[in-house]
Structure 1
Amino acid sequence: MIRFTGFFLLILSLISCKNSSKEKLENIENPNSNTTTVELFSMQLASKSLTPYLLATDEDVYVSWQETENDSVFKLKYAKLGNTSFSTPETITQGSNWFVNWADYPVISGNDNLFLAHTLQKSATGIYTYDVMLNRKVKDSSWSQSFKLHKDNVEAEHGFVSMLPMPDQEFFVTWLDGRHTVNVSEDKRAMTIRGAFVTPEGEIYNSVELDGKVCDCCQTTAALTANGPVVIYRDRSDAEVRDMSIVRFVNDTWTSPKTLYNDNWKINGCPVNGPRAASIENTLVVAWFAAPNEASQVNVIFSEDAGEHFLKPIKVDLGNPNGRVDVDLINEQTAIVSWLEDASIYARTVSKDGKLGKVVTISDTSEKRSSGFPQLEIFKDRVFVAWTKVTNEKGSKIQVGQLPLNSFLD
């Protein structure tokens, strides 16, 4: 039995907690608009920074990222938006044995005065042999030593993590787990997805398998509805169809996997292009990339009952997308979705009824893997965005900006 005290009373206070400061710094004009301006924040960064991740709590906006001076020792850092700029960056942890990757990036979550973050630490010499290591922090104190999320001790891939704040200052964590990709016969090898809960003290409990065969290297996503957490991910059938599936935590039990929408995208390898989701009470929105019959598309779909049923999907791209999506809800009727297309980061509103807002260009970028996955968070009356700017063949620098929410509204 999951130990939730007053779950349904407390859960509403954790759903869509988004407020914001309005400070702005350096301006960059949007090349496709006379009215939209992305305001960049100046930040103290090492010579190489990458994989930004945005977190909005009920009080602040944070960004985390990885950085290095020499490609041997990496640091996971984070900073908070203050009155005039981001705060002095704080190191969460550092290491010389990390798996640092453009697609499998660290995330951070906040819950009241607690924070939880993760990195990927090599467990053996193989390229994809690494573990998920957690670090926790009580506000205004130091970060804890790293501790392992999973207990299998198998030298295999573990990553693509998503985190949620839960009642009683707990966290939910989901991840791809490769314990069944090694040391078994080839016909039984499969990537799995698992979930677990983490107490305020860092105890990990109720670690379970959510699906026994999923796509190997697409990001997971999770959202907290009024009914409980849901997890969305790219599934994998025996026929190599890799569509989106959902599992829901209902009455202290995880439901069986259910296809979110039948794209019928058959592909014999992982596209490295996961979904993103957001929720307000029992309104759930999911964005994802698919390319059935080589027709690339970014779709958004809404649910009004916490993912039990879904409305029709809505295509939001301009015709040639690369994916790398993010999404957040303005309210229970309308979301903002972002995606990568033709070396630019675009965003627009999309409503349950299918109405699409004007396209806003966030920034030009690169289609290279090193440009990573752009991030988006709505926070009060502002929209925060973050991405990795490729500076040269081996260099990169994260960018963090904001623009008014009304920039997206007609």
Structure 2
Amino acid sequence: MTIQNTLTKIFPVGLLVWFCWSLPVNAEADQPEFPIQEITVPTSKESKQHHLAKTDGGRLILSWVESDGQNSTVRFVIREGQGWSPVRTVTSVDGKLGDPPVVFGLDDGSLAAAWMPYVKGGKSKYVADILLARSQDGGLTWSKAFKPYGESARVYDAQMSLTALPNARIALVWTDMRETGDPRKDDRYQLMATVLAKGQQSAGTELRLDDDICSCCRASTTAEGESLLTVYRDHSQGEIRDTGAVRWDTDGKVQALSAPGDGWRIEGCPSNGPAVDMSASSVALAWFSAADDKGRFKVAFSTDGGKSFTKPFEVDDDARGYVNVALLSTNAALVSWRKRVGPEDELRIAKVTTDGISRQTAIYQGDFPGWPSKYPDMVVLDHQAFVAWTDPIKKKVRLVAVTLD
């Protein structure tokens, strides 16, 4: 028996509408729970490939893709009070897109957007381009799109990681396969990066962060001033695929860090990357591992910029992964992940500290799509968190607000 069928026997219809709107998406969760509220996403068609970001002024940006079977259109809205801005369009391209497009704010008040169309007629079906554009009027119009890397790049469609830098600059990290299939090379995937100046409409100077990484797993990049931190799934001898981490800066200095390892040996890429957030005083690292053939979700903190980490603690010992993390304070963070629940998955959030889990709540239980919409997304703004996912049954992007107080 559904919740709604039960309630109709008890409440008048008008009261029922208000009551159901006030219910969390999934009320079954461990105590104490976070209050959650579903927010209607203003899509007129089927939607997918969600992404959350924020403006420089701290307003939520939600972007997604609408497809008619031939074209993919990137749209977004900005949260305004309890409502949304008008839906705005970034671009429409022929065919599918790779990793979900992103729209995010820069510190001069402008917006940046990036999307990943596939290269037509390429030697590999996984080769894509990353196109980037800026808007000075809140997304009403966009600059001419450009490739932010050189002609030798062969972008793998699995991931692109972007973050805003001071003075309206942009950092981009991508997976590159320019050396795969070359008998003179090690036939491995590289993690590449570049920094683009304000208004730059051409390729930036490329920087190699790691020359041997796991191909399909998503990377996560965060910045504090001129210093950046990128985490990803590394690849090392013996098919070990543990979390990799690298500090780098806008001057091109790269420093590999020792992230906590699990010794996960797996022949193929698990397509399940880590997440990171950083402040001036702390780093929070979240990742999935199945080193013992059981899905585990772990978190560790650092107070020295990632040079060393606390002993990892386990958030979930039956996890599917696809994690997110956002710092709340020096030793506390909010995390989201997909937990295994029978044949379905459960989208959960939890507050974690160096002492473990202090609070958690289930948001949604059901099916999730495959790549590129399989990762839930999460952003923390003041005393609220927003979590987005794509519902394959309803064929639309869904969003909840989580009260953190």
Give the structure-1-normalised TM-score.
Answer: 0.85
Equivalent position of 2:332 in the other structure: 334
Trace 1:2-401 onto structure 2 (pairs within 5 A): 26-29=21-24, 30-33=26-29, 36-57=34-55, 58-68=57-67, 70-100=68-98, 104-112=99-107, 113-125=109-121, 126-140=124-138, 142-153=141-152, 157-182=156-181, 184-185=182-183, 188-203=186-201, 204-225=203-224, 228-249=227-248, 252-317=251-316, 319-342=317-340, 343-352=345-354, 354-369=355-370, 372-391=374-393, 396-401=395-400
The Cα of 1:289 is off from its aligned counterpart by 0.5
Q: Which amino acid letter does the alignment assign opposite residue 236 of structure 1?
A: H
Is this contact kept in 1: 2:153–2:176, CA < 8 A?
A: no
Distance 1:155 1:253 in 2: 21
Counterparts of 1:109 and 1:234, CA distance in 2: 24
1:330 aligned counterpart, secondary structure: strand
1:47 Cα shift?
2.8
Contact 2:155 2:175 in 1 (8 A): no
Give SS of 1:51's match.
Answer: strand
Identity %: 23
Change (3 A) 1:374 1:186: farther
CA distance in 1, matches of 2:367, 2:28: 17
- Contact 1:136–1:202 under 8 Å retained in 2: no
Contact 1:132 1:159 in 2 (8 A): no
Greater displacement, 91-100 / 264-273? 91-100
SS at match of 2:73: strand
Structure 2 residue identity aligned to 1:339: W
Write the distance in 2 (CA, Å) between the matches of 1:168 and 1:338.
Answer: 31
CA contact 1:42–1:85 (8 Å) conserved in 2: no
CA–CA separation in structure 1 for the residues paired with 2:303 and 2:285: 12
Distance 1:282 1:164 in 2: 19
Q: Which amino acid aligns with 1:376?
A: M
SS in 2 for 1:237: coil
Supply the distance in 1 between the matched residues of 2:377 and 2:154 (Cα, whole angstroms).
30
CA offset at residue 295 of structure 1?
Answer: 2.5
Post-superposition Cα deviations, 1:168-225, rounded to whole Å, max 9, x if no partner, equal 111111111111124x128621110011011111244331111111000111111113
Residue-by-residue CA offset, 1:209-261 (whole Å, 9 max, x unaligned): 11111000111111113561111111101211011111112593433433311
Question: Given that residues 194 and 208 in structure 1 are in contact (C-alpha distance below 8 angstroms), is that contact kept between their aligned partners in structure 2?
Answer: yes
Contact 1:227 1:282 in 2 (8 A): no
Which protein is bigger by CA-based radius of gyration? Answer: 2
Q: Matched residue of 1:79: which SS?
A: strand
CA contact (8 A) 2:72 2:97 kept: no
**Structure 1 residue 355: Cα displacement:** 2.6
Q: CA RMSD in A?
A: 2.2
8 Å CA contact 1:376–1:384 kept in 2: the answer is yes
The alignment partner of 2:359 has SS state of: coil
Aligned positions, number: 372
Q: Is the 8 A contact 2:61 2:104 kept in 1?
A: no
Contact 1:171 1:197 in 2 (8 A): yes
Shift of 1:132: 1.1
Distance 1:381 1:279 in 2: 18
Q: Distance in 2 between matches of 1:355 and 1:314?
A: 7
Can you give the 5+ residue segments of structure 1 that lack an aligned partner in the other structure? 1-24
1:22 is aligned to none
Q: For residue 11 of structure 2, what is the aligned residue in structure 1?
A: none
Q: Is 2:169–2:195's contact at 8 Å kept on the other side of the alignment?
A: yes
In structure 2, what residue type is equivalent to 1:301?
Answer: A
**Partner SS for 2:83:** coil
Q: 2:3 maps to what in 1?
A: none
Which ranges of structure 2 fall in alignment gaps of 5 or more residues? 1-19
Give TM-score, length-normalised by structure 2: 0.86
1:309 and 1:239 mapped to 2: Cα distance? 25
CA distance in 2, matches of 1:194, 1:171: 14
Q: Which moved more, 1:210-219 or 1:48-57?
A: 48-57
Q: Distance in 1 between matches of 2:152 and 2:205?
A: 17
Cα distance, 1:105 vs structure 2: 1.9
Q: Deviations over 1:17-59 (max 9, x none)?
A: xxxxxxxx94343321596442222232143211211113333
1:133 aligned partner, one-letter code: L
Q: Which residue of 1 aligns with 2:4?
A: none
Please say if residues 157 and 179 of structure 1, whose CA atoms lie closer than 8 Å, have aligned partners that are also in contact.
no
Q: Is the 8 A contact 2:103 2:113 kept in 1?
A: yes
Contact 1:52 1:387 in 2 (8 A): yes
Q: Secondary structure at the residue paired with 2:22?
A: strand
Question: Cα gap change, 1:27/1:73 in structure 2, threshold over 3 Å: closer, same or farther?
Answer: farther
- Residue-by-residue CA offset, 1:282-333 (whole Å, 9 max, x unaligned): 311111101102121111111101112211111111x211001001011112
Whether the aligned pair in 1 keeps the contact of 2:319 and 2:339 (CA below 8 Å) is yes
Residue type matched to 1:192 in 2? Q
